[in-house]
C-alpha cells in the first residue's frame, strides 16, 4: 500500500519564484523515504503541501489514501509533522506542550497522562519535563518537537530537515530514534535533508530534488552503483581555464569532467591508474597540481551527475539568488 502519493505537484510563489515544478513521488507504507536536495530545492514546499499547510497550484496528493485538499481534516489526524522551524511553545514546559497537543487530537484523561509520560521518557526529556521549553538545549528542543509530532501515534510522520543545526551527538540520537520508529512502530516516515550521509543512513528509498524537480530516484545503493568506478578529484594551484578541460579530455578512461575554480572532478573506471596520466596531462598544459584524491562514489557524486552541479555549488547558488 502507498502511504503517500503525489503527482505533478507544482507551485510558484508570488513574485514568480518557482518552488515545485511537477514533482511526483510514491512512498510505500512502513518505509523511510528521503527527499534529498540543497537549500531552496523545494523540499519544504513539498512537505507543506503534503501536510495540508500549503496548497499546490496544480497537481494532486494523497496521504494514507486521503486527498490533502478535500480531506484535509482527516489527513491531519493521521499525520505527524515536525517542521523545519521549532513548533514548540517556548513559554510552556515540556509537559504542558505535550498536554495541549494531546488535547487538540482529542486525547484526554488517563490516556493523555500515559502518552505524555511515555514520550518524555523515550525522548530523554523526563528530567526536564517541568522546565520551560525555552531553557532546553537545541537537541532537547528538537526532541520535544518530535514528541509533539508523535503524541497521537500517527501513521505517517513528516520530518523536515530534523537534524539541521544539531551537533553530531544530538544528530546521532535522533537518527536512532527515527530508525526505531520505522522498525518498531511500522511508521511511514518522509524525511527531507540536505545531508547526504543522513539520507544514506536512514532512507531505504530516496529522491534527489533540484530546482523543484526530481532528478534521481532509487535506493541509496542503487543510486551509487549507477556510478561505476571512482571519483577523481584534483586540486590545482591556480584556477583552471579551458586548457584544463582540453588536457584532461585526452586522458583515456576519464569521463564526466567538471571544473569548478581550482577543483577538477572526473570519473574514472580505475582511479589509481588514471591519476598519474591525469597529472602528466595537466602539467604538460602548464597547470600545477596541488593535490589529487580518489574516492568511492558518494551521494554527492550522484547529485553532481544528475543536477549538473555539486551540492555545495547548488547551496551557494541558492544563497546568491536569495541575496
The correct pick among 25, 43, 48, 66 for binding another protein (CB under 8 A) is: 48
Site string for another protein, 198-237 (x = CB under 8 A): ----------------------------------------
From 80-88, 169-177, 265-273, 296-304, span contacting another protein (CB under 8 A): 80-88
Other CB atoms within 10 A of residue 66 CB: 19
Handedness of CA 66, 68, 71, 73 (dihedral sign): positive
Candidates 1, 16, 73, 242; binder of another protein (CB under 8 A) is: 73
Site string for another protein, 145-174 (x = CB under 8 A): x--x--------------------------
**According to CB under 8 A, which residues from 246 to 285 bind another protein?**
none
Q: Which residues of 223-244 are buried (b: 16+ CB within 10 A; e: fewer)?
A: bbeebebbbbebebeeebeeeb
Q: What is the phi-psi region of residue 139: left when phi exceeds 0, alpha when psi lies from -120 to 50, beta otherwise?
A: alpha
Which residue of 96, 117, 185, 315 would you call a contact of another protein, by CB under 8 A?
96
Which helix H or strand E contains 277, and what residues bound it? helix 271-284
Question: Whole-number minimum distance, CB 150 to another protein, in Å?
Answer: 13
Q: Are 240 and 259 in contact (CB under 8 A)?
A: yes
Cβ atoms of 20 and 9 closer than 8 Å: yes
Q: Which of 88, 123, 178, 264 binds another protein (CB under 8 A)?
A: 88
Cell of 139: 537537541
Among 84, 233, 262, 318, binds another protein (CB under 8 A): 84
DSSP state string for 30-83: T-EEEEE--TTSSHHHHHHHHTTSS--SEEEEEETTEETTTTHHHHHHHEEEE-
Q: Which of 100, 111, 246, 273 binds another protein (CB under 8 A)?
A: 100
DSSP class of 95: H
**Residue 92 engages another protein in binding (rule: CB under 8 A):** yes
Residues near another protein (CB under 8 A) are 13-14, 48, 51-55, 73, 76-77, 79, 81, 83-92, 96, 100-101, 103-106, 132, 145, 148
Amino acid at each position: 500500500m502507498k502511504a503517500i502519493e503525489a503527482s505533478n505537484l507544482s507551485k510558484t510563489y508570488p513574485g514568480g519564484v518557482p518552488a515545485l515544478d511537477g514533482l511526483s513521488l510514491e512512498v510505500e507504507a512502513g518505509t523511510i523515504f528521503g527527499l534529498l536536495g540543497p537549500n531552496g530545492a523545494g523540499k519544504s514546499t513539498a512537505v507543506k503541501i503534503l501536510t495540508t499547510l500549503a496548497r499546490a497550484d496544480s497537481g494532486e496528493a494523497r496521504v494514507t489514501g486521503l486527498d490533502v485538499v478535500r480531506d484535509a481534516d482527516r489527513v491531519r489526524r493521521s499525520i505527524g509533522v515536525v517542521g523545519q522551524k521549532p513548533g514548540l511553545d517556548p513559554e510552556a514546559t515540556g509537559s504542558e506542550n505535550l498536554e495541549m497537543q494531546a488535547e487538540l487530537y482529542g486525547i484526554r484523561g488517563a490516556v493523555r497522562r500515559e502518552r505524555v509520560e511515555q514520550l518524555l521518557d523515550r525522548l530523554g526529556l523526563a528530567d526536564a519535563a517541568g522546565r520551560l521549553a525555552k531553557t532546553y538545549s537545541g537537541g532537547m528542543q528538537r526532541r520535544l518537537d518530535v514528541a509533539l509530532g508523535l503524541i497521537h501515534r500517527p501513521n505517517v510522520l513528516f520530518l523536515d530537515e530534523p537534524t539541521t543545526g544539531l551537533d553530531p551527538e544530538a544528530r546521532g540520537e535522533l537518527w536512532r530514534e527515527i530508525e526505531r520508529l520505522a522498525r518498531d512502530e511500522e511508521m511511514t516516515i518522509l524525511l527531507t535533508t540536505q545531508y547526504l550521509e543522513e539520507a544514506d543512513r536512514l532512507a531505504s528509498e530516496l529522491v534527489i530534488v533540484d530546482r523543484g524537480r526530481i532528478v534521481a530516484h532509487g535506493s541509496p545503493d542503487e543510486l551509487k552503483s549507477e556510478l561505476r568506478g571512482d571519483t577523481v578529484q584534483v586540486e590545482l594551484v591556480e584556477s583552471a581555464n579551458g586548457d584544463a578541460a582540453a588536457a584532461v579530455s585526452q586522458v583515456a578512461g576519464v569521463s564526466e569532467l567538471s571544473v569548478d575554480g581550482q577543483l577538477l572532478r572526473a570519473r574514472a573506471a580505475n582511479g589509481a591508474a588514471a591519476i598519474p596520466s591525469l597529472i602528466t596531462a595537466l602539467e604538460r598544459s602548464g597547470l600545477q597540481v596541488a593535490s589529487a584524491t580518489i574516492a568511492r562514489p558518494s551521494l554527492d557524486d550522484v547529485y553532481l551527475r544528475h543536477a549538473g552541479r555539486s551540492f555545495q555549488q547548488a547551496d551557494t547558488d541558492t544563497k546568491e539568488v536569495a541575496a
